[in-house]
Structure 1
Amino acid sequence: MVLHILKKDLRRNKGIGAVLFIFILLSAFLAAAGSNMIASLAGSLDNLFEKARVPHFVQMHAGSLDENQITSWMAAGGFAEEYQVVRMVSLDGTSLGFNGRYDGEENSIMDISFVKQNTGFDFLLDTGNDVFRPATGEIGVPVYYMERDGLKIGDTLAVTQGRFSAEYTIAGFIRDAQMNPAMVHSKRFVLNDRDFETLSREIPEYEYLIEVRLWDTNRLAEFQAAYQESSLPKNGPAVDYTLFRMINALNDGLIAAVIILVSLLLNIIAILCLRFVMIAAIEEDYREIGVMKAIGLKLRDIKRIYLAKYVCISAAACIAGCAAAFAVKEPFTANIMVYLGAAPVTLLNTLLPPGLVLCVFAMVVFCSWLVLRRFNTLSAVEAIRSGTAGKTGTVRTKILALRKNRHTPVPLFLGLRDLVLRFGSFGLLFFVFAAASFVILVPVNFLNTIRSPSFIRYMGMGKSDIHIDIRQGSDTGERFGEVIESLRLDPDAALISPHVTGTFRILGGDGTAESINIETGDFTVFPLEYFAGKPPVEGDEIALSYLRAEELDKTIGDTLTLFHGGAEYTLTVTGIYQDITNGGRTAKAPLRLPPENTLWYTVSLGLKPGADIGGKALELSRRFPGVRVTNLDSYLSQTLGSTIGQLRLLAGLAFFISAALSVLITSLFLKMIIAKESSRIGILKSLGFSETAVKFEYAVKAVAVLILGIVLGTVFSNTAGQGLVAAAWSLMGAPGIRLVINPVQAYILCPLALLAAVSATAAISLRRIRTVTIRGSVSE
């Protein structure tokens, strides 16, 4: 009997069933899509690191070295299972020409090195995650360039530097577990061994990677301390396995976190919409429910009929949502597939998305059971007599009496009055609109933040017009001096701030000496925006990045011990700034001491008003060959381009889903209200109110609730949304990130689009009022 009634009910209420199906499908889809992205990221990252055999510790070094010294130290230390010294040939980006074009790297921020394939570990993989082994005349190009320039297999790459010239055929695109992401400003190209030896003889500009895989990764900190205490080469930053994982997961992990946040909020909205659907269905069937109870059907049997309906619908919707998430997962995981590759299917990939979908199903069934408890207080006589659940909804109060109204049109007054006196009845609708606004605005504001030029403040840099970077080489110091002297004579230059980054030794948080890279110079010319404190000005002051301060357990006013030339110096921490580059672990100080090892030189340049920033950057890159010159916009787009693209997709998806949910919930809510207040509507018609006037009253309620919801959603997006974004970015070194709000988008375009969608839905849904007769019944 239950199955027979269920089939008839589904045929009779196709619309209600379809709406329920859509809501639950969206909930399941979002849960499965978000979890699938997390599982894909984790699996692909593990697979890439396993296939590449990523080193546990890497010391970068610019300059000559003695490999025998390294061999002796590694053998005596007992830490290393394997080690190798990787020689890289450093090239100026302007020496490269893809398909005959040499202008692609003029404003590039990337440091380019050519290498041959490693033999023991740290393998450079192709797009199938196999070790890439080019033939003579072939080259492997990082996937970054494939994405940026649209390169394909068979294209050519020419190298012209000095008297040397060679052309290679692109035979593959390289995944480099150390240098994959755009946020890492170093890239390795892979040559055949013979071609590499030829290149290294012609262009003897070398840098080295001293790479180690440990017997016991739990001793990594101990090994790092021992290495820093030794006299081994260390003219460059040291990085470890943990940092490699973080930088590879950073972009996609950030997007996945935003998707999970949006899906959580939309799931809440979907559950509320489900409640609306069920209440609307019960309102429509109230007389039939009363009849079933009157003829002797037990209450639990009536509940079983409805619960069976929602179990069937939710089960079908959850299966469809899960399948849809797997079917369209490509846009969500496209960046992961390009930079990390597909991983073998694991238990996590198999069980996590269906597991979360099963949770959605359980929540739906539980919510259905809670709503059906209202049957316990159902009166069969009242249900058969009135056909509605309880009272007509008329508010018996003298507050805001109609007779006192003199100026406001009656339908408008009645609509606002009813909303004020019965706002609790509209509370859920209000919450849905507020949540929809929140879901729309947070991704939009986050996208605007990353695209904004002010985002540079979270990358450990002052806001200048042009950034000049001179990497270490045999004549770097001389070139640095030439660049500064030339800029001082440039008529367009207004402010010049040179900086030198080098290695110093300090007393670490565990009481042992450790190496730290400190940028030295004047930090008042292009000041950073400090999370706490102020810039270092005196020679005994230092500013730390947020993560470095956390690591050293230092705050404003604390002291650091610096070792130099056999002497100890005490530095006072005056500022803590935000920095998501270099693993978020940097420091700045106006030291008068030369570093133990100079890593790189930079110059920040401010131009006079009216100067062409892009044109000047291009002019300087040609004036200073071998020097990296970038303007601010180019720096941000090259570093965060893929993240911006994914966020743009996410913002569009969040807007579409939120608007669709708002439209559906408006339709369902008005349908429920009309069914519940059919007697009141009949009374209004009998008193002479036109159909248009009655529609206007209900439209006023819906639009007023929407406007209030948009206001609350906007406030929360600027407060709670700000806090959520800051909490996520604190893991990367920017806990004080401030959302950049585009007033036109946030306060005009998005609200107007939502308002237009809801208003149009209200106009269509309120046509149902014409079917309400003067007696208060609904004619079909």
Structure 2
Amino acid sequence: MNLKMLKNDFKRNRAGNVSLLLFMTLAAGLVVVATIVVTQLITSMTGMYKTAKPPHFLQMHKGGINQEAIDEFNSSYDGITAWQTLSMIDVYGDDLKVYGNDVFSLSDCRLDISLVKQNKEYDFLLDEDRNIINVNKGEIGIPVILLDSYDINLGDTVVLTSNGVTKKFKVTAFVHDAQMNSTLCSSTRMLISDEDFKELFGNVGENEYLIEVYFKDSSMASDYRTAYEKAGLPQNGQAVTYTVIFLLSAFRDIAMAMVLILVSMLLVMVALMCIKYTVMAALEEEIGEIGTMKAIGISYEDIRNLYLVKYKMMVAAGITIGYVLALMISNVFTGHVSNTFGKQSVSILTMGLPVAACALVYLITNHYCKKILKKIKKVTVVDALVTGKGFGKKERVKDGLYKSKTISVNLLVSIRETFHNFGGFVIVFVVMFIVSGIMIVPMNILNTMESKEFISYMGSSMDDILIEIDSGENLENKYVIINKLLKEDADIEEYKEFRSVRVETVSSEDKWMNLHVDCGNYAGKELKYLVGTAPSMEDEIALSKLNADEMGKNAGDSIILRFMDRQKEFVISGIYQDVTSGGYTAKAIYSFAGVDAEKYQFTINLAGGVDAGKKASQWSDKLGGGYDIEPMEEFINQTLGGVSRQVKVATTAVLVVGILLAALIVVLFMKLRLAKDVAQIAAMKAIGFTNSDVRKQYLYKIGMVSIAGIFAGTLMSNIFGEGIVSVALSTTQLGISRITFIINPWITFVIIPLVLLAVAAGMTWISTRQIREYNIISLINE
């Protein structure tokens, strides 16, 4: 009987029921996709880390090492379970040329490229099935991180030319690296055979070492880092902890998952509104049947269950279809997870959580349906069959037609009804409010990440070209060469130089900890400060958010820095945001004379009309290897390009969902309004209003309410959107706790509002076509 009722109801009210089915499919599908992304990310990373065994602490070092000193220190440090020192051959992108579909070099790659051999016990390089890769002599494994930027295929030839040595390799594998798999990292590794490594080590490029340590508890890495650096062990390079490795690896997918989860939560809220108005539309249309059932003695529970079963079946069908479709399209959103962390076999968790999410949506909607259907209990037989009162309040609106000399009658009637009975249109207002918000916030996130200004969140200023001198034995000589080059180049308008040093300070636990400070006259300028300002005096210092938290300090507090057997007191001028160096940095204009530099950095602004790309290429050709010279836009693109591409996929999906959402809600709402306004429409047609007049009035009403909702949504998303995203980002512990949106005003304030308004108007006009079929006599008789 239930199936027969559902079938007959679909025939009689095809548009409304199909709309509800589509909407539930959409809501459930997006919830499932968001759940799959999060689940896949967690299980894939956990599975890969279990096989690959990345280090809990990693210290990169260029130059000679004293392995006995390292072994002695680690042997005496409590909590260490294992350690190893790995050799790498650092080469420059210009040294590598790929012969495949095209011939190109990797000269524009901003990542430090290293040739390595496979490890024996820890930190393995894996293939897509998470098997440990072993390549033969003359073969090479290319990291998958490079495939986003370069067209490299299996079977291509890679030619290495360095220090007069030429070596050919055949690409036989794509490498999944557990610790260097993000563009936010500074390095990447290519795998070669033990024989080739032995042949090339010391003869090409520069030698670099990875000193890796494993603990009983990975949280010990931070304390170990301070002890390691204080012991004077090799540290001519970046030091990274397990937490930073994990977060940098996952940041790209975390960003997309955040967008999907936010939209999913809002979508479920709108789904409940959709169900309410679908149910109410059906009840309004069938008020006579409900009154008849009550009159012949059918109980409230039985009447409710007749409707509840129908909606249970429809919701279940929508959720099931949404689940299946989500599984089919999930690769669009999880493709990067599989490409980065390898194929993940299906587990109870990956299948169970999406099912649990669907079950939760079903339970919520079922409970909400029961709550709505309680209205049946309050309707009396007299209300249903005699007065025709139905479920809504009948409000009288003064016509005010005497004002129609200046305003058209249709517009005036629409304005007055909308103003006096706004509650009857609140669903359209709320939906437009939410939809505009869920479309604008992701778009603002995408615009921010693609903007040049986002570099301020990466510890640098907005300039034309960025130059970094690789740390190494010739650091000071390279600094002199760069300084001379920049002073003599007439195309430069101005440049700023920064010197990085390592000093010591006291943590919140009253322990001495290392502090890496970028010093220079312009240090800290143009960054985004949470509190305070950039340092302006020699006794001032600015701290990154994570460093300030580590020390338990805030702007205005004092700290003691220890260096060169002396101590100096500094006042914290401000707290800024930074995602570089794991987020643990500091800025000062004090020179720290005598302290050895860890690295040098230059930011250059060119004279008007000078092309940054050509100038960077010219300097690279002139200086050769050992320098990272990049136009700032290229640096941002290569660093954040992968993240922004993922966010762009999610944003595109959100825009499509938002438009469909607006269209479905307007159709469902109009279905309800036309059912409730039958008597009013009949009266208007009887006194001379044409079909076109009535349709225009509905168009004006929906248009005005939509404009109000879109305006409110746009305003609120720009006021509170930053706060919501900032809270989400602060949980990642990447060094960003507050973000300022960089808005494209044309998209935010013009294109998106106009698209939503056009959708609302179009759906209203289409929905009111049925007014032409209304017969005045039959309507009045009803």
- Does TM-score exceed 0.5, indicating one fold? yes
Give the secondary structure class of the aligned counterpart of 1:718: helix
d(CA) in 2 for partners of 1:61, 1:514: 20
Letter in 1 for 2:149: R
1:767 to 766, 769, 773: 769
How far is 1:504 from its partner? 2.0
Q: Who is 1:670 aligned against?
A: 670
Q: Who is 1:653 aligned against?
A: 653
Q: Who is 2:587 aligned against?
A: 588
- 8 Å CA contact retained: 2:88, 2:115: yes
How far is 1:294 from its partner? 1.6
Q: Does 1:123 align with 2:127?
A: no
- 8 Å CA contact retained: 2:255, 2:647: no
Q: Who is 2:724 aligned against?
A: 724
d(CA) in 2 for partners of 1:167, 1:441: 50
How far is 1:91 from its partner? 1.3
How far is 1:219 from its partner? 4.0
Identify if the C-alpha distance between structure 1 residues 548 and 104 changes in structure 2 by more than 3 Å, giving closer, same or farther: farther
- 8 Å CA contact retained: 2:543, 2:575: yes
- 8 Å CA contact retained: 1:277, 1:668: yes
- 8 Å CA contact retained: 2:397, 2:416: no
Residues 588-627 of structure 1 aligned to structure 2 (within 5 Å): 588-594=587-593, 598-626=597-625, 627=627
Give the secondary structure class of the aligned counterpart of 1:297: coil
Identify if the C-alpha distance between structure 1 residues 391 and 710 changes in structure 2 by more than 3 Å, giving closer, same or farther: closer
How far is 1:107 from its partner? 3.4
d(CA) in 2 for partners of 1:341, 1:182: 17
Letter in 2 for 1:433: M
1:755 to 754, 757, 771: 757
d(CA) in 1 for partners of 2:14, 2:648: 36
- 8 Å CA contact retained: 2:95, 2:105: no
Identify if the C-alpha distance between structure 1 residues 772 and 390 changes in structure 2 by more than 3 Å, giving closer, same or farther: farther
Aligned length: 778
d(CA) in 2 for partners of 1:390, 1:43: 50
Identify if the C-alpha distance between structure 1 residues 356 and 777 changes in structure 2 by more than 3 Å, giving closer, same or farther: same
Q: Who is 1:482 aligned against?
A: 481
Residues 357-756 of structure 1 aligned to structure 2 (within 5 Å): 357-385=358-386, 389=390, 393=394, 395-397=396-398, 401-523=400-522, 527-594=526-593, 598-626=597-625, 627-730=627-730, 731-756=733-758
- 8 Å CA contact retained: 2:82, 2:215: yes
1:251-306, CA deviations, whole angstroms, 9 ceiling, x for partnerless residues?
A: 10121011100111111112111111111111111111112222221221111100
How far is 1:431 from its partner? 0.2
Identify if the C-alpha distance between structure 1 residues 53 and 580 changes in structure 2 by more than 3 Å, giving closer, same or farther: same
Residues 297-308 of structure 1 aligned to structure 2 (within 5 Å): 297-308=298-309
How far is 1:3 from its partner? 5.6
1:34-74, CA deviations, whole angstroms, 9 ceiling, x for partnerless residues?
A: 01110000001101111111111112222211112212222
d(CA) in 2 for partners of 1:103, 1:353: 44
d(CA) in 2 for partners of 1:87, 1:502: 25
d(CA) in 1 for partners of 2:518, 2:778: 79
Q: Who is 1:80 aligned against?
A: 80
- 8 Å CA contact retained: 2:251, 2:643: no
d(CA) in 2 for partners of 1:394, 1:429: 19
Identify if the C-alpha distance between structure 1 residues 516 and 576 changes in structure 2 by more than 3 Å, giving closer, same or farther: same
Give the secondary structure class of the aligned counterpart of 1:122: coil
> TM-score normalized by structure 2?
0.96
Identify if the C-alpha distance between structure 1 residues 386 and 21 changes in structure 2 by more than 3 Å, giving closer, same or farther: farther
Q: Who is 2:91 aligned against?
A: 91
d(CA) in 1 for partners of 2:61, 2:727: 35
- 8 Å CA contact retained: 1:275, 1:371: yes
Q: Who is 2:338 aligned against?
A: 337
> TM-score normalized by structure 1?
0.96
Structure 1, unaligned stretches of length 5 or more?
none
Identify if the C-alpha distance between structure 1 residues 599 and 111 changes in structure 2 by more than 3 Å, giving closer, same or farther: farther
- 8 Å CA contact retained: 2:395, 2:421: no
Identify if the C-alpha distance between structure 1 residues 778 and 547 changes in structure 2 by more than 3 Å, giving closer, same or farther: farther
Letter in 1 for 2:776: I
- Stretch deviating more after TM superposition (430-439 or 724-733): 724-733
Q: Who is 1:9 aligned against?
A: 9
Residues 98-497 of structure 1 aligned to structure 2 (within 5 Å): 98-99=98-99, 104-203=105-204, 205-217=206-218, 219-385=220-386, 389=390, 393=394, 395-397=396-398, 401-497=400-496
d(CA) in 2 for partners of 1:545, 1:746: 31
- Stretch deviating more after TM superposition (502-511 or 683-692): 502-511
- Stretch deviating more after TM superposition (7-16 or 731-740): 7-16
- 8 Å CA contact retained: 2:16, 2:671: no
Letter in 2 for 1:700: Y
- 8 Å CA contact retained: 2:157, 2:169: yes
How far is 1:5 from its partner? 4.0
- 8 Å CA contact retained: 1:678, 1:776: no
1:78-113, CA deviations, whole angstroms, 9 ceiling, x for partnerless residues?
A: 432211111111112211112277864333321111
Give the secondary structure class of the aligned counterpart of 1:652: helix
d(CA) in 1 for partners of 2:152, 2:163: 26
How far is 1:134 from its partner? 1.0
- Stretch deviating more after TM superposition (761-770 or 539-548): 539-548
- Stretch deviating more after TM superposition (78-87 or 34-43): 78-87
Letter in 2 for 1:33: V
- Stretch deviating more after TM superposition (553-562 or 305-314): 553-562
- 8 Å CA contact retained: 2:506, 2:551: no
Give the secondary structure class of the aligned counterpart of 1:531: strand
- 8 Å CA contact retained: 1:44, 1:336: yes
d(CA) in 1 for partners of 2:96, 2:252: 27
d(CA) in 1 for partners of 2:87, 2:392: 83
- Stretch deviating more after TM superposition (338-347 or 120-129): 338-347
- 8 Å CA contact retained: 1:109, 1:635: yes
How far is 1:473 from its partner? 2.2
Letter in 2 for 1:202: N
- Stretch deviating more after TM superposition (354-363 or 73-82): 73-82
- Stretch deviating more after TM superposition (124-133 or 4-13): 4-13
Q: Does 1:57 align with 2:57?
A: yes
Give the secondary structure class of the aligned counterpart of 1:173: strand
How far is 1:591 from its partner? 3.2
How far is 1:526 from its partner? 5.7
- 8 Å CA contact retained: 2:252, 2:646: no
d(CA) in 2 for partners of 1:149, 1:426: 53
Identify if the C-alpha distance between structure 1 residues 32 and 391 changes in structure 2 by more than 3 Å, giving closer, same or farther: closer
Give the secondary structure class of the aligned counterpart of 1:82: strand
Letter in 1 for 2:529: Y
d(CA) in 2 for partners of 1:511, 1:414: 73
- 8 Å CA contact retained: 1:142, 1:176: yes
d(CA) in 1 for partners of 2:37, 2:132: 26
1:623-657, CA deviations, whole angstroms, 9 ceiling, x for partnerless residues?
A: 22112111111011101112221222222211111
- 8 Å CA contact retained: 2:163, 2:203: no
- 8 Å CA contact retained: 1:467, 1:632: yes
- 8 Å CA contact retained: 1:138, 1:192: yes
- 8 Å CA contact retained: 1:415, 1:698: yes
Identify if the C-alpha distance between structure 1 residues 315 and 390 changes in structure 2 by more than 3 Å, giving closer, same or farther: closer
Identify if the C-alpha distance between structure 1 residues 64 and 379 changes in structure 2 by more than 3 Å, giving closer, same or farther: same
- 8 Å CA contact retained: 2:456, 2:526: no
Give the secondary structure class of the aligned counterpart of 2:22: helix
d(CA) in 2 for partners of 1:465, 1:683: 69
Query: Percent identity between the aligned chains?
Result: 32
d(CA) in 2 for partners of 1:503, 1:761: 64
Identify if the C-alpha distance between structure 1 residues 536 and 334 changes in structure 2 by more than 3 Å, giving closer, same or farther: same
1:375-407, CA deviations, whole angstroms, 9 ceiling, x for partnerless residues?
A: 11212233234666257845244xx62224421
- 8 Å CA contact retained: 2:110, 2:628: yes
1:556-580, CA deviations, whole angstroms, 9 ceiling, x for partnerless residues?
A: 1212222212222222211221112
How far is 1:436 from its partner? 0.8
